[in-house]
Amino acid sequence: MRTYKRKTENRTIPPEVIRQGVQKILEGGKFATVAHEMHIPRSTLKRYTQKFLTEGATSTNDVREVPLENFIPRYKTHKIFTTEEEKSLENYLIRASQLHH
């Protein structure tokens, strides 16, 4: 097998949809109702809501300010560079391209 093709598209929920679901929960919605409306598994919605409550997000404004990377599953565990290293590499590549390298 040269390239892997995913056989199902189950559980590939866009980060923006998860963010909207968490916002509705923090506005007072019920997990089962919001999960059904947004087509998100209830356990997934509950996990992301608890994640943001433990990080200090208490209102919908706090959730809107959180970067979308935090709504991507396994983003932090698969990350190679720290945010600071990514920014430094980005600046270096921009500078190198300006110098025609």
Q: Is residue 52 part of a domain?
A: yes
What token pair was written down for 29? 């919605």
Convert the pLDDT of each residue in 52-77 to its tens digit: 887 766 666 666 677 666 666 666 66
Q: Is residue 1 part of a domain?
A: no
Q: Is residue 10 part of a domain?
A: no
What are the φ/ψ torsions at residue 89 (nearest 5 degrees)?
-65, -40
Q: Is residue 46 part of a domain?
A: yes
Cα gap 86→76, rounded to integer Å = 13
Q: Domain range holding 62? A: 15-98
Q: Is residue 36 part of a domain?
A: yes
Convert the pLDDT of each residue in 12-53 to its tens digit: 788 888 888 988 998 899 999 999 999 999 998 998 888 888
Q: Is residue 45 part of a domain?
A: yes
Tell me how many domains the chain contains: 1
Give the number of residues written for the chain. 101
